[in-house]
Chains A and B, each alone.
Chain A
Amino acid sequence: MEKRRNTFFLTLILVGTLITAGLVFWSSFRVKTSSTPTESLAANSNTLVVSETETKEEVLAPNGKMTLILRNVKKADGTTAQTFSVISEDEVTPLQIYTLNSGTDNSISIPFNTFSPDNKFIFLKKGQSEKSEYMVLRTDGKNIKGEDKTVEFTSLFYEKYPEFVITDVTGWGGTGLIVVNSNYLDGKMGPSFWFDLSGFSFIRLSTKFN
């Protein structure tokens, strides 16, 4: 009689343990399932903060008297905040001259020959593809033309010379003359031009600047 009672209690404890374990397992599984999106969002949120990176690039003018500083802050959404500043050798605080929020395809890069020989202007390249745009701006932070901080001269070129394609903008042929090389639309070598800042116009050259 006592032996049967012990067997009953043991079975009861075993069944109770199994039911409890089953409930715990089930509830824990439910908690995991329901909490997954929250954790995922939290994880993404953390990743966003970590992935915002900042890089800095400095380019010295050919005479060593001015430095162009480019600060790139890459954001989680793929865009980049670009800030351009200049500092002269006899100044302490950089002067911010231009800012831009851009996508990955149209971020601005600094060409090797960016500074005009007198350090009054810089030209910049926007985008990396064949259809790059080029712009020029002043290094004193003032507007270069009317209300505009920049003059984007690629579209000006195509308005006037639709028969040519810009192949490269290499540097400065003088204090106010930017060297623009071109090809004909069929790929044959085209002429070189000055982009003349005195009138924001193009001068077609008889000499090709390779």
Chain B
Amino acid sequence: MVRKVTRTPLFLYLGIFIAAMSLVFFILHKSVKNIPCANTLSCKESLELSVNNDEQAVFNAEKIDPPKIDLLASSEEKKVLGIESSTGDKHIYVDLGTQTLKAYEGETLFLETKISSGKWFPTPTGDFKIWRKVRSTKMSGGQGADYYYLPNVPYVMFFSNSVVAGSRGFSLHGTYWHNNFGHPMSHGCVNMRTIDAQKIFYWTDPPPNEDESVPTENTPDVLITIYGEAP
């Protein structure tokens, strides 16, 4: 009598396990590499200085005339607003819960104002440093009714830390396409009134000697602390 022995196909289970693990690693790898930028359509482009005075902006399906940017006039602004009067470390606090920003120089409050944080994509929380400042850039992203195309975004201060890479394009910047501050309204950046962004732009280090600037080893750090939960 021949007894039929059914062998457990161990190699088959092993193969399925390896395949599943490979799939998981592949998905994780792709998702880490493809973490969306604050501006999905202009991810790299939005990190550069750009002035497009002849283009129209689009936001909330409306066409908007962006403010004309004159880089020569910016040099006059530097003389007026870029005055060094450091009396302590500069620290910017952004409270997502109250949608407010406070900027301190030591113990002295330099500016307090309302902002708009991320609505369509969350603004990251944590401690950040400014890694690049540009007088103006272009930002675009979104889809369908949420599509936006914004040339001449003024007074842009990109921030990053060890978790949120600079290439993701999160920044503090001026805003000309809405006026709904105190309420989330952005795609991840911290929207500010242009008059407030201008003050912070010339107040923070590195001083904008050119229309774009990158901190060096000797540049004092400006810490940006973003905390709380947006409504």
Contacts and interface: CB of A to CB of B under 8 A. Distances in A.
B26 to A, nearest CB: 33
A172 B179 contact: yes
Nearest to A63: B194
Interface string B53-93: 00000011010110100000000000000000000000000
B62 A210 contact: no
B158 to A, nearest CB: 21
B65 A113 contact: no
A191 interface: no
Nearest to B193: A62
B178 A64 contact: no
Interface residues on A, range: 20 to 34
Given A171-B179, A209-B183, A210-B183, A62 B194 contact: yes
A63 B119 CA distance: 22
Interface string A194-210: 10000000000001011
Contact of A170 (B67, B176, B182): B182
Interface stretch (A42-50, A71-79, A94-102, A114-122): A114-122
A170 B65 CA distance: 23
A174 interface: yes
B64 A175 contact: yes
B62 A170 contact: no
A81 interface: no
Contacts of A63: 67, 176, 193-195
Contact of A173 (B60, B65, B194): B60
Contact of A171 (B176, B181, B194, B230): B181
Contacts of A116: 179
A52 B114 CA distance: 34
A176 interface: yes
Interface of A: 60, 62-64, 112-113, 115-118, 170-177, 179, 194, 207, 209-210
Interface of B: 59-60, 62, 64-65, 67, 114, 119, 175-185, 193-195, 198, 230-231
